[in-house]
Every structure is written in structure tokens, then in C-alpha cells.
Structure 1
Amino acid sequence: VLHEFSTIEGVVEDVTQIILNLKKVSLKVESDEEKSLEINVMGPANVTAGDIVGDGDVTILNPELPICTVAEGTTFHAVLTAEKGRGYTSADENKARKVDMPIGVLPIDSIYTPIERVNYQVENTRVGQRDDYDKLTLDVWTDVSLAASEAISLSAKILTEHLTIFVNLDD
């Protein structure tokens, strides 16, 4: 395809919808190198994240995620690249990192965060005879790549690193 507003003959979803579905794929990449993944499915078929094939360094964590629907007599072929990262990288930033990107390569946003949602609640609580304590309750939803307890621990570590600059400030 030439651009994200294209359609693919024999595929129900347009390229924009396929890209949105690919952004939802959760991967665990065990290597520091960029990895090449491939989808090659002959229709009729419902293409899912489980159809993505790579080497042993990449694990698909949500293989049941639908990507597209392919009609009979149509082959859906896509080559994907994946790498480790942190936070979020826009499609424009991904495009700028790759010099001389050939026509037909569509960079998409990279969403590295395993955190789906966080909720917190602060309540008054009693400890012994004292009732002037606060209790913090965190509800953390993650994808399957990171447990909620690990996410909280890592978040606290990152926050500590960011705040250490203030520890030795002189007046």
C-alpha cells in the first residue's frame, strides 16, 4: 500500500483500521536489537496477532487480538519491525529515525507502556488510637507484559531517580 488511507482488495478493513489494530498488539521483546516480524495469511481467514511470526526473542502477549479479515483467494502479507523502548514514540519520530524509507513502509506510533489505567484513592485511617493517618489505595491495570506490583515498583524507582536532583539543593 502507498499510504494509510488505502484499501486492500480482498481485506474487509481499510489500512487505517489495520494500523489501529496493530497498535494494540502487545509484544515482549527480549533483545536490544530491532526485530523483524511477518504476517502471511491466505484467505478466507480472520487474521489475529497470533498470526505474527518472528524469532524467539519476540513474544506476542495478546495473540487473540483481531487485526483484519481476509476474503477467499486473497493473501495478506505484512512485514513489521519491533524493538524495545520506553513511553511513546510518534509515527513522525519513527519515520525521522529511518533514513531513505522505501515507498510502502508505513511508520506507526510506538506505545511502549504496559499500563492501561490507574486509579487512586486516599482515605483517612486509624492506627491504634491515632486517626490522623492516610491510606493510599492504588488500582493498576496492565497488559500481561508487566504485573501491577512490578509496575508500581518501577514507577517508584523512576520517581526516585527524578527527585534525587532536589536532595542536595543548597539554600
Structure 2
Amino acid sequence: MIEIGFQRPKYLECNYETLTEKYGYFSAQPFERGYGITVGNALRRILLSSVTGAAITAVRIQGVLHEFSSIPGVVEDVTDVILNLKSIPLKFEGDEPIIMTLKKKGPTEAKASDIVHDPDIEILDKDIHIASLDKDGKLDVEMIVKNNRGYIPADQNFDGDLSVDYIPLDSSHSPIKKVNYRVEAARVGKRIDYEKLSLEIWTSGSVSPQEALA
């Protein structure tokens, strides 16, 4: 009887027909039995926790000292404005913090496209709604953007060098939005007890699925 040596994938296949800037489907085979789920689970954990991304870590809103307040002439309260700001996907590869600003007077709608930023920052979705201002409304916001990994609570984003009117935020830096994996049976020669690992990756667009997996 001929024994087949330890099997491992030689390369990773990508489905280019479905590949986009935000979605990728990949597969690899053959894995020895039990290795597919081990590798799949490890890749999922690493992708969700260890890929660097940019996020807003602190904001200063003129006339506001804490997030549980309101802004005269602005429909949304401060909490909602901050949530909308945090939802803006950013691409930034710098090592040092950088500042973005937003200044609007009503009556108008403030959107991500109204944010003034350094050329090193890219706003990936400029249509995101930030706030609605009536005729007396005024919104003056300064935002600190940093690169990091994973989830950072607000207390860790506190910076004593900033003025007291800055509000530190909890920030989610991972550009990986979702990862799914599936393990199926695979054949090598006459043996059918090997495994195929399929991996789906969704990103914010700041990194491509291929870059995330590289």
C-alpha cells in the first residue's frame, strides 16, 4: 500500500469573477482532516483583529463639552452626530495622528463630503449623513484620526495633550467587516478524506480582500 505524505495547500485560489474592492472569495486545498477548521478559524480571528485601519479617535465640537448634550439649531444630538462621524470609512496610512475639520451653517445637511482633510486621508463614502442644520444651526467640528488595530475603548484614546473640550471616542479600526469560512471534503488521488477551505472576506474598501489576506 502506497502512503501519501502529509498534504498541504500549494497555493490560494481567488474567484476573480466575484472579486470587488470590498469582497473576495478564496479557497485552498488539500488540508489533512481537521486542519481546515483550524486554519479557517485562525485566519478569521487574525483578519478581524490584526489588520491596521484608520478611525476617528476624538472630536471637538464648538460649544460642546460632553457627548450627552445638544447643539443649537442641529436636529441630531451630539451622540448621534458622533455615531455618524464614527461610521465614516477612512483610508489613511500615516503613523502620526492627523486632523480633519467640518464647518457648516444652516439651513443645510452636513455630509462626509463636507469634511476638510489632508490629501493623505481618503473618505471612502462621502454620502454619509452627519447632521441636519436649521437656519440658525452651526456645526464646527475638529476630528483626530489615527491608525491602529482592532477595537480601542475611549479611555485608551484619551490624550492629555489635547484641550479639555476634546471628547475621546471608542474606535473600531479594523477594515475587515466580516469573515466567513467553510470546510468541505476534498479528494487527493483515491483518498476523499481531505478538506477544502473556502474563505469569504468583506472589507470597508480601505484595503482589498487580497491585501488583507496577503
Which TM-score band applies after superposition, normalised by the shorter structure? 0.7 to 0.9
Aligned counterparts of 1:31 and 1:117: Cα–Cα separation in 2: 25
Aligned counterparts of 1:43 and 1:37: Cα–Cα separation in 2: 20
Structure 1 counterpart of 2:139: 76
Q: Retained in 2: the 8 A contact 1:86–1:113?
A: yes
Q: How do residues 53-64 of structure 1 correspond to structure 2 at under 5 angstroms?
A: 53-64=116-127
Q: 2:152 aligns with which of 81, 89, 96?
A: 89
Deviation, 1:128, is 4.1
Deviation, 1:61, is 1.2
Deviation, 1:146, is 0.8
- Name the SS of the counterpart of 2:140 in structure 1: strand
Aligned counterparts of 1:92 and 1:111: Cα–Cα separation in 2: 14
Q: Retained in 1: the 8 A contact 2:72–2:138?
A: no
Deviation, 1:130, is 2.4
5+ residue gaps, structure 1, are: 154-171
Deviation, 1:30, is 3.2
TM score, norm. by length of structure 1: 0.81
Q: For 2:183, give the aligned amino acid.
A: V
| Identical counterparts, % of pairs | 44
Q: How large is the RMSD of aligned CA atoms in angstroms?
A: 1.5
Q: For 1:37, give the aligned amino acid.
A: M
- Name the SS of the counterpart of 1:55 in structure 2: coil
Q: For 2:190, give the aligned amino acid.
A: Q
- Name the SS of the counterpart of 2:119 in structure 1: coil
Deviation, 1:100, is 5.2
5+ residue gaps, structure 2, are: 1-63
**The structure with more strand, counted as a fraction of residues:** 2
Structure 1 counterpart of 2:178: 117
Residues 102-161 of structure 1: CA distance to partner in whole angstroms, max 9, x if unpaired? 3321111122100111111111123443211111111111001011122122xxxxxxxx
Aligned counterparts of 1:102 and 1:26: Cα–Cα separation in 2: 26
Aligned counterparts of 1:130 and 1:149: Cα–Cα separation in 2: 31
Q: Retained in 2: the 8 A contact 1:117–1:140?
A: yes
Structure 2 counterpart of 1:165: none
Q: Retained in 1: the 8 A contact 2:106–2:138?
A: yes
Deviation, 1:68, is 1.4
Q: What is the total number of aligned residue pairs between the two structures?
A: 151
Aligned counterparts of 2:207 and 2:99: Cα–Cα separation in 1: 23
**The structure with more helix, counted as a fraction of residues:** 1
Moved over 6 A (4+): none
Q: Retained in 2: the 8 A contact 1:45–1:70?
A: yes
Structure 1 counterpart of 2:48: none
Aligned counterparts of 1:71 and 1:138: Cα–Cα separation in 2: 47
Q: Retained in 2: the 8 A contact 1:23–1:109?
A: no
Q: Mean alpha-carbon deviation: is it higher for 30-39 or for 123-132?
A: 123-132
Q: Retained in 2: the 8 A contact 1:41–1:47?
A: yes
